[in-house]
Amino acid sequence: MTTQLEQRGQNLATGKTTSAKARWRIPATLEVAAVWIVVGVIGPGLFTGSTLFLATTALIFVLFAMSTNVLLGWTGITSFGQAAFFGAGAYTVGLLAPIALPPLIQLFVGAAVGAILAMIFSLVANRVTGVEFAMLTLVFGESISLLLYRIPALGGESGLPGIPRGAIFGTSLFSDKTFWWYAIAITGVLAIVIRRLRGSTFGASLTAVRDNPLRASALGINVKLSRIVAFTVAGLLAGVAGALYAQLQGIASPDIMSWTVSGEVIIMCLIGGMHTYWGPAIGAVIFTVANWALSNSTSSPELYFGLGLLVIVLVLPEGLLGLVPMISKRMTRRQKVLS
């Protein structure tokens, strides 16, 4: 797979700026916005009641998966502790509930808490990388989740219930339909930000860090700083997703901080394909729907997710979206043979 950076290098070397095909491509920002608007409009038409609630949950997990993929897919950092930042966002909203702040302000605070926590962690933990770093994230996430049971203000087993959805610009978010629009707007804006980030110099530098840290630092990229910033960005976005989740559910409960949630978000990224923009989003939707369907029909959805993940890791490392270029390549080859 040629990376973005290599592609850019080749384009520079061959003097090509844009190929004929690329000139007709829709601008990335517009593409993301269009998808979000279409989904936003057809959502309440297709779903009502509990299925709309499920769709909103899926939407929030799309944001969570995209945030995790900044680490996993872009920077090559495996973190088994992302639930801590997601949970930090949720618990921030839970703690702020008595003050009755506007929902958007709650999101900002949740984002800030997620980002600060992630920044502190990555500043301290950046001495190790790879598998050791993954273990440290796991241990960090577990100790944060242990705190939930130790600090009485965090509610222990019962969590922080009674989070009101509040109102935005005078419109109450109480009904699932208005909350859907609110969630669409927030996740849509952030999805565009993530898309722009991916295409930016910063995004390219993360790819360089992922593919070859040594070469990246030789090119003048501060590898450690890039990793820290990536981790902070992921923590920030996870914080927003967690805050949204708490507003949707009306409760911040300790089970969202368990490391199995960090594992689930990794599964989402891998199902869809972590090296594409849409992969984690598609993975999150598939996972949420499958999880819902499986928990209605079987007592142990883990079995199926485990088997699915095994297949992905062993034969489809680029996820479901990795099938697209494979199939299209086969199609074009067939066309060439025919003509």
Partner 1 sequence: MFGQIFAALVSGIATGMPLFIVASGLTLIYGVMRVLNFAHGAFFMIGAFLFYNVLGGVTGSISLLIVGLLIAALSVGAIGAVSEVAVFRRLYARDHTTTLLASYALLLTLDGLVQQIWGVSPRSQTQLPAFAGSFQILGVRVATYDVVLIGVGAVLAIGLTLLLQRTSFGQTTRAVAHDQTMARALGLHARGVQLAVFALGAALAGLAGGLISPLLSIDPSLAPTFVVQSFAIVIVGGLGSMGGALIAALLIGLLDSFAVTFFPGFAGFSLYIAVTLVLLLRPQGIFGAAFASREA
Q: Which residues bind partner 1 (CB under 8 A)?
A: 76, 78, 124-125, 127-128, 130-132, 134-136, 138-140, 142-143, 146, 150, 258-260, 263, 266, 270, 299-307, 309-310, 312-314, 317
3-class secondary structure, 168:
strand
Angle at which helices 223-249 and 103-125 cross, to 10°? 140
Cα–Cα distance measured from residue 232 to residue 85, given in angstroms and rounded to the nearest whole number: 10
Nearer to partner 1, 277 or 305 (CB): 305
Minimum distance of partner 1 from residue 189's CB (angstroms): 31
Minimum distance of partner 1 from residue 218's CB (angstroms): 16
Q: What phi, psi does 167 have (nearest 5°)? A: -135, 150
Cα–Cα distance measured from residue 9 to residue 21, given in angstroms and rounded to the nearest whole number: 18
Six-digit token string for 188: 């849509």
Minimum distance of partner 1 from residue 84's CB (angstroms): 12
Look-up of token digits 């708490």: 246
Nearer to partner 1, 259 or 278 (CB): 259
Nearer to partner 1, 300 or 328 (CB): 300
Minimum distance of partner 1 from residue 86's CB (angstroms): 17
Element spanning 171, H or E: strand 171-172
Cβ-based neighbours of 163, under 8 Å, separated by 6 or more: 93, 94, 97, 246, 247, 249, 250, 251, 252
Nearer to partner 1, 79 or 276 (CB): 79
Minimum distance of partner 1 from residue 299's CB (angstroms): 6
Cα–Cα distance measured from residue 290 to residue 292, given in angstroms and rounded to the nearest whole number: 5
Nearer to partner 1, 51 or 78 (CB): 78
Give helix then strand counts, H and E, for the chain.
15, 4
Pairing of strands 167-168, 171-172: antiparallel
Minimum distance of partner 1 from residue 29's CB (angstroms): 31
Minimum distance of partner 1 from residue 237's CB (angstroms): 21
